Amino acid sequence: MSDEKIHIAPTSSEYDVIVSGNGLDCVGQYLAPLLPSRNVHIISDSNVATLYLERLRSSLAMQSIQSTCTVFPAGEASKNLATLSDILEDMAVSEVTRSSTAIALGGGVTGDMAGLAAALYMRGIPYVQIPTTLLAMVDSSVGGKCAVDLAAGKNLAGAFLQPLFVFADIATLRTLPDEVFADGCAEVIKHAVLADPELFGILAERPINKNDDDLYLMTVIATNIGIKRRFVEADEREQGQRKLLNLGHSIGHAVEAASGYTMGHGHAVAIGLTAIARASERLGWAEEGIAERIEAVVAAHGLPTRSPYPAEDLIGFARLDKKADGTGITLAIPESVGSPVLKHVSMYGFERIIELGIGA
């Protein structure tokens, strides 16, 4: 089956995203003409490295691309300055030069850290994303946001750096734990609610799973990348319309924090998405029945629709949200499927919205 190519052209640079049916063994052929030199430094986590690192390195070696690597312990708990420092030190010891390229092989945690390492190392080297989770394929590997967590909160130290190239081999999704695949489904559903009523209808009829046929998975993933592309191209640095991509995230972040970051990002976003739909409908900001429709699609993908934490706990965490400014917070509201709007609400207003969305 032929690969899908999506060209992304934000203001600062442009690059291709390839969605492939089983292409990890050929990725070297794609990369060879793009790299400034035949030296790369691969960054991966312990789970993904066990599964895919050697295949990637052989594919690179076939094109005479030399690779060095840093492998860090898998999990969000590693997405911090200490791991970033280890990666940078490793790059220096491995004699990575200004003309080398960093490669992120893994999920969103790996991509976010590798991107930031590439932004910092020698004041910036190119990097390539090889996403291996659904979330990373449809969301985090595209758009150039990269960050690590601080003790005070998630993604608080970061940068914008667009990748040189993104290569998604959907065959890697088959080894994902079901829960991790479901995390990515939350972002897929979010994209459909934001921008694609047809995709929303398809997902309602035929929820995706990691063992779906290649054609179906590739089509859904490529469609999602196309949706993300539109937001990133319109507003690379999230000054306006890109904020719509935060649909479900303001409440979702509070849920994630309330769980002590033990709940997967997508699971928290699923709760946030259904909560904001419920609250919007109750306030008369969204069309009747939208909350029920979104809940059905979320549940069909094995994701939660109700918060295990009470509204008062979430309000406590929402007050700490970094996206809040002195006057309140900008929320994405799903007026109907395919037409979201941004609304600025006071913190008091946001707290009432959490109560409306989380309450029975």
Contacting range for ligand NAD; rule: CB under 6 A; set: 89-97, 108-116, 219-227, 319-327 = 108-116
Q: From the list 108, 226, 252, 272, which residue makes contact with ligand NAD (rule: CB under 6 A)?
A: 108
Question: Residues 123, 205, 211, 288: which is the catalytic one?
Answer: 123
Site membership for ligand NAD, residue 140 (CB under 6 A): yes
Contacting range for ligand NAD; rule: CB under 6 A; set: 136-144, 188-196, 296-304, 335-343 = 136-144
Counting every residue written for the chain, the total comes to: 360
Site membership for ligand NAD, residue 10 (CB under 6 A): no
Q: From the list 4, 90, 169, 183, which residue makes contact with ligand NAD (rule: CB under 6 A)?
A: 183
Question: Residues 76, 233, 238, 287: which is the catalytic one?
Answer: 238
d(CA 360, CA 356): 8
Site membership for ligand NAD, residue 23 (CB under 6 A): no
Q: From the list 139, 196, 281, 295, which residue makes contact with ligand NAD (rule: CB under 6 A)?
A: 139
Site membership for ligand NAD, residue 73 (CB under 6 A): no
Cα→Cα distances 158→51, 81, 113, 114, Å: 28, 10, 9, 11
Q: Which residues contact 290 (CB under 8 A, 6 or more apart)?
A: 277, 280, 281, 334, 336, 337
Annotation marks residue 123 as catalytic: yes
Residue 228, both tokens = 């993300």
Site membership for ligand NAD, residue 274 (CB under 6 A): no
Greatest Cα pair distance, the chain, in angstroms, is 61
Binders of ligand NAD in range 28-47 (CB under 6 A): 45, 47
Hey, which residues does 360 pair with through a beta bridge? none
CB 350 within 8 A of CB 329: yes
CB 112 within 8 A of CB 143: no
Cα→Cα distances 11→8, 162, 216, 232, Å: 10, 10, 31, 9
Interface ranges with ligand NAD (CB under 6 A): 45, 47-48, 51, 74-76, 79, 106-110, 112, 132-133, 135-136, 139-140, 143, 145-146, 154-155, 172, 175-176, 180, 183, 265
- The residues carrying an active-site annotation are 123, 145, 187, 228, 238, 242, 246, 249, 253, 265
